[in-house]
Each structure stands twice: as structure tokens, then as C-alpha cells.
Amino acid sequence: MTVGMTELAVLRLLCLAVPTGLALVLWRRPGRRLAGAALLSFLAAFVAIGVANQLAMAVGWWRFEVREGSFLGVPLDLWIGWAVFWGPVPLLVRHRLPIWSIVLTCGWLDILVMPRLGSLVSLRSDWLYGELVALVITVVPALLLGRWTVDRRRLTARVVLQLVTFTGLTFWLLPSAVMGEADGRWSHLLEGPVWRTSLIVQLMVLAAVPAVAAVIEFAVRGEGTPYPWDPPARLVTTGPYAYLANPMQVSVVLMLTVLAWGTHSLSLAVAVVGAAAFSHFVAGPHESTELAARHEQTWWDYDWHVRAWWVRRRPYRPEAAELYLAESCTICSQTRCFIESTKPQGLTLKAAEGYDGTVAGLRRALYVGPDGLQARGLGAVARGLEHSGPGWAYVGWLLRLPVVRPLLQLLLDGMGGGARQLPTRRP
């Protein structure tokens, strides 16, 4: 029995040490961006492997025979080693190989190794289906995310993959770790009346709106992402950042607080307080130093006017934007009157018919930001609302969400509110 336990311990050590050692050999003093991309690739692989294992164990493709040192039913050392081998290792290879060859290599090695881990994992006869699923949802996204981050390509795709990765880490793995060691259960979310579960989901969705809008603002206005090693090229002071310096952190704190209430986890609530304190007292000063070094006086002016955790009553607008609405459109005229009644700051409303810019056959509504950003239709109105105070700005962020805006715009188009060729005239 002692020999068997010793062999199992050695086996688990090798599962962690071999991939980690290979990653260290390939490290070779990478630059800051490659190092950040390698870490991001590891995190993406870590989350995806967790999902793949939960699916495989639920279907029955395989199960793990040990419980000591496990997390969510998976030996943690095997999980980490797996994520290192499927994440940073392919990225750190000096000569880039085609993705299909990397996927085939990882799959071939797993086919060789996993049947020999009999004391650690029990495989069903059809386990190769689970292996295929794991390769597709882990190796491919993790490698693409790492490469795109290094090359600064496919901004939208890498923002989406980052969002999926950090959502999994923050709202699945972190709460699971806290509740696994203390109080609370996921099953509490479904217990009790239906209205309670519905309320929890709705509150979390509403709390997520500023964070999602901030991520979009980073990509659209700053051409970057929230990841510290893949930051925006320009300082972003619009969207949620016109009211709050930490919209993502505030959204995360609110969502985790609601989740702690829904899962009956006091420990998760305490962890949320600790995370907020770390963000404010440790990460905040470091981030401020980084931003000051990159943006100098622009950052100090912004930092003086916009607080990290306290919402401004009026937006921070050092430069003015323009909103063009058609005078010949009744709905547009009513919309203009409404926006004017909110007393927007840093926004000039003009007749779309008098627009002398570069858009021919102008739509009924056009927003032109101080940085040249243009939004049309419902998106233009939503952008205009961002100048009218935090309440109406929140409505604007909600209207601009990736799924919400196209659906509402399609509905408006069907009701006669679509694009219209407007006669251009000089003011």
C-alpha cells in the first residue's frame, strides 16, 4: 500500500514537473508582451481544462481516482501541469508551428500518457470523444489568444476570449474555491422560489453592464484590452470612464456580492471585501504609476476629476462631441428634445441635414466623438445619452450591448425607423 501511494505521489509530481520544466526551458527571457501572453494563455487553458473535465466527468468519459489535493474533482497538480502544457508551452516554441500540428501533437501525447495513468484516472472505452472536445475548447483558443496578444491582432476576438477567460476565473473558479473550503453552495441559487433565482440573475446582469461597456470602450476608443500586458494605446476617458475610474472593478464587486447572497456564502462576501481592498490599496497605486508613465499630464488631469469608486454626477468631458438628428424625422426631433431636456454636457446637437462630413446619404442619427468615433442609428442615440448623467448613461451602455443594440435596431428598422437618404444642405 505504501509503495502504491509512493508511486501515485511520484506520478502526480511528474504531471506537474515535466510541463513546468519544459516551459522553463522554452522561456529564454521573453519580452514583456510575450511573458504576458504566456500567462494569459495559461489562464485560458486552466479555465477551459476545468470546463472540459467537468463535462467529461458528467458524461462519464473519465473520472479521477484520488480526492486528496483535488479541486472540483480534478487533482490540482495534474490540472496545473495540463494547463501549462496546453497553454504557454506551444506559445513559447521559438518557431511557430501550424495550429493543426500542435493540436495533433497534444492529442497524440495524451493518447500515449493517459491510459498509463491508471492509478490516477479511470478511462471509459469512448474517452477519445472527451479528448477531442478538450483539445478543441482548450488548445485552440489558448494558443490563438496568446499569439494574437503577442502580435496585437484580431482585437475583437482576443477581447472576447479574454472576457470568457476572466469571467470563468472570477465567477466560477474563485467562488468554487471559497465555497469548497468554507460555507455556501451553488445549489442554493436554484433553491427557493423562482422569483428569487430570477432576481439574482437579473441583478448580476444589470451589474455587469458597466463592465461590459468599459471593455468595449477599451477596444473601440483605446484599441486595447483590460489585460495589463495588452493595454489600450490611448487613455480612455469616455463611456463608463467618464463617470468612474474603476467601472470593471465596481461591477465585479457588485456581481460577486449578489452571488455571495445567492449562494449563502459569507466567506465569499468577505473575500469580495478583501479583493476590493487589494484593488484600491495595492493594485490602484501601481496602475496609477503605470498610466502616469504612459500618458503623463493627460492622466493626472483625469485622475484629479474622476474617482475610482465614486460615480460623478456629470461626465468628465474635456472635448466636445456632436450628435446629428434629422429634422425631417418626427421621432428624431422628439429624441432631440428629450436629450436636450437632460442638459447633456460636452455634446452639441445639430440637424442631420446640415452635416458636412464624410458620410454620404446620412442616416437619421449620427454621433461623432472628439476622437473621430462615429455611431449611427440607435447607437448614436445611446452615445448621446452618455453625456446626460450616470442614470441616462447607464441606459446608453445597456442599449449599446453587442446583442441588445442589433436586435433593437432591427426592431426599429421594421417599424420604419431605419436608414433614410437625407438631402444634405449647408448650414
Confidence of residue 65 (pLDDT cuts 50, 70, 90): confident
In this structure, the answer to whether residues 60 and 148 fall within a common structural domain is yes
In angstroms and rounded to an integer, the radius of gyration of the C-alpha atoms of the chain is 25
Give CA–CA dist 398/291, Å, rounded: 28
In this structure, the answer to whether residues 100 and 11 fall within a common structural domain is yes
pLDDT value, residue 83:
95
In this structure, the answer to whether residues 149 and 208 fall within a common structural domain is no
Mean pLDDT over each residue of the chain, to the nearest integer: 88
**Which of 88, 119, 153 marks a domain boundary?**
153
Tens digit of pLDDT for each residue in 292-319? 888 888 999 999 999 989 999 999 987 7
CATH of the domain at 328: 3.40.30
In this structure, the answer to whether residues 252 and 164 fall within a common structural domain is yes
In this structure, the answer to whether residues 329 and 292 fall within a common structural domain is no
In this structure, the answer to whether residues 300 and 159 fall within a common structural domain is yes
Tens digit of pLDDT for each residue in 342-370? 999 999 988 887 776 655 445 678 899 88
Of the two residues 162 and 14, the one the predictor is more confident about is 162
Residue 427 lies in a domain: no
Point out the least confidently predicted range of 40-49, 259-268, 354-363: 354-363
pLDDT value, residue 27:
84
Q: In 169-208, which positions are buried (b, 16+ CB within 10 angstroms) versus exposed (e)?
A: eebbbbbbebbeeeebeeebeeeeeeeeeeebeebbeebb
CB 262 within 8 A of CB 189: yes
Give CA–CA dist 122/118, Å, rounded: 6
- In this structure, what are the phi and psi dihedrals at residue 309, rounded to the nearest 5 degrees? -125, 10
The answer, yes or no, to whether residue 420 has pLDDT greater than 80, is: no
Half-sphere exposure of 30 (CA within 13 A, CB side): 20
Model confidence, pTM: 0.89
Residue 108 lies in a domain: yes
Mean pLDDT, to the nearest integer, of 106-111? Answer: 92
Give CA–CA dist 346/243, Å, rounded: 13
Residue 223 lies in a domain: yes
* 191, 201, 298 from 187: Cα distances, Å: 7, 14, 48
Total of domains in the chain: 3
In this structure, the answer to whether residues 112 and 171 fall within a common structural domain is no
Confidence of residue 333 (pLDDT cuts 50, 70, 90): confident
CB 354 within 8 A of CB 364: no
Give CA–CA dist 368/379, Å, rounded: 11
pLDDT value, residue 417:
61
Range of the domain at 410: 321-417
Point out the least confidently predicted range of 29-43, 187-201, 339-353, 410-424: 410-424
**Which of 280, 312, 344 marks a domain boundary?**
312
Point out the least confidently predicted range of 61-70, 163-172, 352-361: 352-361
Instruction: Give Cβ neighbours of residue 160 (< 8 Å, ≥ 6 apart).
Output: none
Give CA–CA dist 408/405, Å, rounded: 5
In this structure, the answer to whether residues 167 and 243 fall within a common structural domain is yes
Residue 10 lies in a domain: yes
Confidence of residue 108 (pLDDT cuts 50, 70, 90): very high
In this structure, the answer to whether residues 374 and 274 fall within a common structural domain is no
Residue 247 lies in a domain: yes
pLDDT value, residue 3:
39
In this structure, the answer to whether residues 233 and 99 fall within a common structural domain is no
Q: DSSP of 372-388, one letter per residue? A: S-EEETHHHHHHHHTTS
Neighbours of 136 (CB within 10 A): 13
The answer, yes or no, to whether residue 416 has pLDDT greater than 70, is: no
Q: What percent of the chain has pLDDT over 90?
A: 58
Confidence of residue 421 (pLDDT cuts 50, 70, 90): low
